[in-house]
Amino acid sequence: GQEIERQRCPQYLKSSKKTAPERTNPMGNSAYVPPVKESIIYPTFEAEQGSLAGKAYAVTGCTTGTGLVVAKLFAKKGAARVFLLNRPSPRAEAALAAVQAVAAEE
């Protein structure tokens, strides 16, 4: 049974190494970059938030998603300090740069 299967499917005889796609997304390990979608709810939510001047915030899991959005919001609203609690990685460095860019705009 097995010998017949190999004759029909020669690709099983080859040992091919698969290589990972080139990493082009600084926020993650894959080359996939999600599409940018405009939020209907977030602009109103952001506008309703008061000043955070003089306050310090710690955000965990802020390399992407909600954590990154919250960290940027804290920086934009004038928080005295925003602590990004992540493991060292290229994603963490990219998140830090993104939050610092938002803070510099204000």
For residue 99, CA distances in Å to 16, 26, 79, 102 come to 42, 14, 12, 5
How much is the average pLDDT of 78-100?
Answer: 93
Confidence tier at 68 by pLDDT (50, 70, 90): very high
How much is the average pLDDT of 74-89?
Answer: 94
Confidence tier at 2 by pLDDT (50, 70, 90): very low
Please tell me the least confidently modeled range out of 22-26, 37-41, 54-58, 94-98: 22-26
Residue 34's pLDDT is what? 66
Which alpha helices (H) appear in the chain, and where do they start and end? 2-8, 42-48, 65-76, 90-105
How much is the average pLDDT of 45-72?
Answer: 93
Residue 12's pLDDT is what? 47
Query: Chain-wide mean pLDDT for the chain?
Result: 79
Residue 39's pLDDT is what? 82
